[in-house]
Amino acid sequence: MAVQSLLSFTHRFEPATDATRPPVLLLHGTGGDENDLVDLGRFVAPGSALLSPRGKVLENGMPRFFRRLAEGVFDEEDLRHRTHQLADFINEAREAYELAPPVALGFSNGANIAAALLLLRSDVLAGAVLFRAMSPFAEPPQTDLSAKPVFLSSGALDPLIPAADASLLAASLSERGAQVRHQVVPTGHNLSQPDVDMAKAWLADL
């Protein structure tokens, strides 16, 4: 699986070995890149095609998918721009690699832009796994997420994302029709084995 730069995002692509499984869009956290979540994707979504772009924004040299003004304070204008940019890349990649709409799997910054994709460009995703996400918009746009499956996993001890913020995101997506499963695990911001195991089981049922 080689790094590709022919499309609008530098990315890695791994073809499916099971054509019945939905492709998975891997969205790394701050400081990650297109390699970060590939092993996780292989584990939680065996057989699925994997599409893993690198965020285009640099914060102190660390890749991200959009700018922030401070910890937990997003530059919403940039977030909207970058969300549409990423959605356009997904459509490019679907055409190039002959993919069905993918399920996004994002961690932290990647989960936040996945949530923004659901709210702004839900047509490009078949669903989402959101690890350590928070509500991306102060006033989330109205959109129809009828029957869109979403798995949200938050940490009870997360110092970066208050439990109330994760619950607000779950409620916001549910109010727009998404089928949300929200799990709270007794850990901090980092991923834990229960996160991974629950996500794998949830994806297997799609």
Catalytic residues: 108, 158, 189
Residue 148 near residue 177 (C-beta atoms within 8 A): yes
- Torsion, CA 38, CA 43, CA 45, CA 50, rounded to 10: 20
Quote the DSSP letter at residue 142. Answer: P
Give CA separation, 9 vs 34, 89, 140, in Å: 10, 7, 26
- Phi, psi at 92, each rounded to 5°: -60, -50
In the chain, what are the helix, strand and coil shares in percent, each to the nearest 5?
35, 25, 45
Give CA separation, 158 vs 28, 106, 181, 192, 197, in Å: 18, 16, 19, 12, 19
Q: How far is CA 174 from the centre of its chain?
A: 17
User: What is the enclosing helix (H) or strand (E) of 174?
Assistant: helix 163-175
Please state, in angstroms and rounded to a whole number, the distance separating the CA atoms of residues 16 and 174.
30
